[in-house]
Amino acid sequence: MNNMSEEASEWSCTGCGKPLEIIKVGFSYMKGNFEVLLPACPACGVVMIPEDMATGKMAEAERILEDK
């Protein structure tokens, strides 16, 4: 998690200009609710989803849920 904190501090929100922070973000998909720690803007709530998560973990979770 420390790596993600360091990476988040290198990014800033394009709308607000504030540095991103690691916060708990809620997701809903096919009647399932999930919470994940991700870099997000503390002011406006814009969330950055790292590419490896979007194409890896999230894609795998979608396949599992759709197969049920």
Find out whether 20 and 8 touch, Cβ atoms under 8 Å: yes
* Domain boundary assignment for the chain: 2-67
pLDDT tens track, the chain, 68 positions: 456 655 666 889 988 899 999 999 888 877 778 888 999 999 998 998 878 777 776 677 677 767 76
Find out whether 23 and 38 touch, Cβ atoms under 8 Å: yes
Of 1.10.3470, 3.10.20, 2.50.20, 1.10.1060, the CATH number of 2-67 is 3.10.20
Residue 36 to residues 17, 40, 46, Cα–Cα distance (Å): 23, 11, 14
Q: Measured between alpha carbons, how far is 19 from 12 in angstroms, rounded to an integer?
A: 4
Q: Measured between alpha carbons, how far is 13 from 18 in angstroms, rounded to an integer?
A: 5
H-run or E-run covering 38: strand 32-40
For position 23, what pLDDT does the model report? 92
